[in-house]
Amino acid sequence: MKSKAWTEKFMQGVFFVAACASVLAVVLICVFLFANGIPAMREIGFVKFITGELWRPSNEIFGIFPMIIGSLYVTAGAIIFGVPIGILTSVFMAMYCPKRIYRPLKAATELLAGIPSVVYGFFGLVVVVPIVRDFGAFLRQAGIVEKAGNGNSILTASLILGMMILPTIIGTTESAMRAVPAHYYEGSLALGATKERSIFRVIIPAAKSGVIAGIVLGIGRAIGETMAVIMIVGNQARITTSMLEGIRTLTGNIVIEMGYATGLHREALIATGVVLFVFILIINFSVALLKRRADHE
């Protein structure tokens, strides 16, 4: 009897230790990233590192402002393409979809989330890049833009990222809309509103927190996406205002140069990772807050 009690206690300890693994992982990730990134920031100068507009590793000039702007550009582009289509698609899934085809369509949106980012990047490389290149050439001929670009551009990355965040947005928005009590919708219909008016004036406002959480989650996904982006965005560390030109993102900066970087250059790349990590932590925190609010509503 005594040995049995001991086994119970022992296994409870084992379960507890296993549960600590995720906490340990987060602590380790934070410690190792910050410990390896902050010294470089200090050496370069924090303000100079963040706001410096030049990235010349061979001359020991490390400014990641172009990459921060680059990440913001492609993320904003992804939102512009992905959010309207995502939200409207989730309206379709929640309110219009005939029961018979619901299950295959739902599986299709899940599949969209499961496709690896290299495959998205490859698709962008062989399909979207040539289209954007032709589009740029056409715009130049029409005299709208000066430089046509070679297709590896902010626009290309925005289109692919917009595709990639669709499942995130569709998933969260649809479940938020389904969580709205049915009598809201029925009440609105009973007052004579059309189906569309009821959806966009009653259901979506009621599901607001969940919808916004989905968008923020999509932002997190877009800003952290690496492989698909570096395959199609050109990766030039510069600031540009043309959608048809290439830029470099924070994630791209790390992957492209980590292979051969040494010394301060390498530490500056890790510091780039730290900046990205801080962005992500802020985004995660806002998602958690929004979800909590959605639960209280």
Partner 1 sequence: MSNKTTLGDKLRTYLKHPGSFIVMLLVMLAALVTFAVLIFLIAYILVNGVPHLTPSLFAWEYTSENASVMPALVNTVIMTLLSLLIAVPFGIFSAIFLVEYAGRGNKFVEVIRLTTETLSGIPSIVYGLFGMLFFVNTLGWGFSLLAGAFTMAIMILPLIMRTTEEALKAVPDSYREGSFGLGAGKLRTVFRIVLPSAIPGILAGVILAIGRIVGETAALMYTSGTVAQIPSSVMGSGRTLALHMYNLSSEGLYMDKAYATAVILLVLVVGINALSSVIARKLTKA
Residues 148-167, mask of contacts with partner 1 (x by CB under 8 A): ---------------x--x-
Q: By CB under 8 A, is residue 227 in contact with partner 1?
A: yes
Q: In angstroms, rounded to a whole number, what is the distance separating the alpha carbons of residues 105 and 109? A: 6
Q: Which is nearer to partner 1, 98 or 143 (CB)?
A: 98
Question: With the C-alpha atoms ordered 244, 250, 253, 259, is the resulting torsion angle positive or negative?
Answer: negative
Interface residue with partner 1 among 68, 176, 215, 223 (CB under 8 A) is 223
Q: Supply the minimum distance, in Å, between the C-beta of residue 235 and partner 1.
A: 11
Q: By CB under 8 A, is residue 271 in contact with partner 1?
A: no
Interface residue with partner 1 among 76, 112, 137, 239 (CB under 8 A) is 112
In this chain, which stretch among 6-14, 52-60, 202-210, 237-245 interacts with partner 1, using CB under 8 A?
Answer: 6-14
The type of residue at 297 is E
Interface residue with partner 1 among 80, 179, 191, 281 (CB under 8 A) is 281
Token pair of 261 as six digits: 């970087």
In the range 183-222, which residues lie near partner 1 by CB under 8 A?
194-197, 200, 217, 220-221
In the range 51-110, which residues lie near partner 1 by CB under 8 A?
84-89, 91-93, 96-97, 105, 107-110
Collect contacts of 67-71 with beta carbons under 8 A, ≥24 apart: 67/237, 67/248, 67/249, 67/250, 67/252, 67/253, 67/272, 68/250, 68/275, 69/239, 69/247, 70/154, 70/233, 70/247, 70/248, 70/249, 70/250, 70/252, 71/223, 71/249, 71/250, 71/251, 71/276, 71/279
Q: By CB under 8 A, is residue 182 in contact with partner 1?
A: no
